[in-house]
Structure 1
Amino acid sequence: MADKTELPACPVEVTLALISNRWKVLILRELLGGTLRFSELKRGVGSISQKVLTQNLRSMESDGLLTRTVYPEVPPHVEYALTERGRSLKGVLDALRAWGESYQHEVAGV
């Protein structure tokens, strides 16, 4: 979020600001399974560019949703993991998944 001192009054709006795009939701989904390296995240998320993944990871780190650990090796080894705050969004993602499954069954006959 751009300015943390001026959070929206509506809690739903705050949540949406933190997970404001599909990439952030997919990054959260992947990291709920545990710590991942950048390349593993990119592969799990799908058709995201390296630039967009990097931008979203930086934003999520700034918002306190994940941590970035750099291991001083050649080549550099970087791992990403959810913080407690990031893991607390599991219920939100579970609700999105359940709703999506219900919608698929009702509308698409999946």
Structure 2
Amino acid sequence: MSKGGYGQFCPVAMAAEVLCTRWTIVLLRELIAGSTRFNALRRGVPRMSPALLSQRLKELEAAGVVAKSGSGKGAAGSEYQLTEAGRDLIPLIQAFGVWGQRWIDTELSLSQLDVHLLMWDMRRNLDPDPMPPRRSVIRFHYEDAASSQAEWWLIVEPGVGVDLCSVDPGLELDVEVRADVRTMTAIWMGYETVAGALAQGRLTVDGERDLCGSMQTWLGLSPFAASARP
């Protein structure tokens, strides 16, 4: 039992000792989403210190939730996979997200803006199927972000995947998207649509006509965006 634990035999209390430490649920979200390398996990939890990330991974490994493999030195050279016990948590983490989408106030959610995490999630959830069978380059410009975080590029390569760059890759653009961080976060969360933001002038999309017109279909939305709000 962890130091300062609940001291109860109840399975809820015992599970809470493993799962309810700071950042643990969010870290499990990243593992369930498919991040397995230390640096990839860090990109999904950018405000979590590397030392604390390493500590939480060790705790999850000790609890039998995560298994570490790899011959690299230290945490950065290892790969982390969910065990059977970890995979059993998938419905629980999904339920956390559905509950948050349904019951946390929209304004409260949109007060927690993080452009880095937004773009990382968009990269992870982008759907390349509606896009042409060639490389597509989309630049996002956030007018209200700090200069170091104002521009991002999503590069979609058929058969390869989606890459995210915060430095100009020097490739010809297919689409340029301009918005404020709050508007794009609201679209990603499913609180509003591309068409609605365009109509209100809070979003502009320029470039290849078909790609611009199908943005709502290929844009990576939150996996909880479809959860109905009461």
Q: Quickly name the TM-score band, shorter chain normalised.
A: 0.7 to 0.9
Question: CA–CA distance in 2 between the matches of 1:72 and 1:55?
Answer: 17
Which residue pairs with 2:92 in the alignment?
Answer: 92
| Structure of higher RCO (CA pairs closer than 8 Å, 6+ residues apart) | 1
Could you tell me how far 1:21 is from its partner in structure 2? 2.5
Structure 1 SS opposite 2:12: helix
Seq. identity, %: 33
- What residue identity is the alignment partner of 2:106? A
Task: Kindly indicate whether the alpha-carbon contact (under 8 Å) linking 2:29 and 2:93 is maintained by their aligned counterparts in 1.
Answer: yes
Please list the CA deviations of residues 37-77 of structure 1 after superposition, one character each: whole Å capped at 9, or x if unmatched: 1111111122000110011000000000001112258xx72
Aligned length: 103
Structure 1 or 2, whichever has the larger Rg, is 2
Which residue pairs with 2:106 in the alignment?
Answer: 108
Could you tell me how far 1:35 is from its partner in structure 2? 5.1
Structure 2 SS opposite 1:36: coil
Quick check: 37-46 or 17-26, which moved more?
Answer: 17-26
Structure 1 SS opposite 2:68: strand
**Is 1:32 the equivalent of 2:18?**
no
TM-score under structure 1 length normalisation:
0.80
Q: Which runs of 4+ in 1 moved over 6 A?
A: none
Q: How do residues 1-110 of structure 1 correspond to structure 2 at under 5 angstroms? A: 1-2=1-2, 8-34=8-34, 36-72=36-72, 77-104=77-104, 107-108=105-106, 110=191
Structure 1 spans left out of the alignment, 5+ residues: none
Please list the CA deviations of residues 80-109 of structure 1 after superposition, one character each: whole Å capped at 9, or x if unmatched: 1111101101111111111101113xx336
The change in CA–CA distance for 1:26 and 1:69 in structure 2 (over 3 A counts) is same
Structure 2 spans left out of the alignment, 5+ residues: 108-190, 192-230
RMSD of the alignment, in Å?
A: 2.2
Structure 2 SS opposite 1:43: helix
Question: CA–CA distance in 2 between the matches of 1:99 and 1:57?
Answer: 25
- What residue identity is the alignment partner of 1:45? V
TM-score under structure 2 length normalisation:
0.41
Could you tell me how far 1:22 is from its partner in structure 2? 3.9
Structure 2 SS opposite 1:61: helix
Question: CA–CA distance in 2 between the matches of 1:13 and 1:60?
Answer: 16
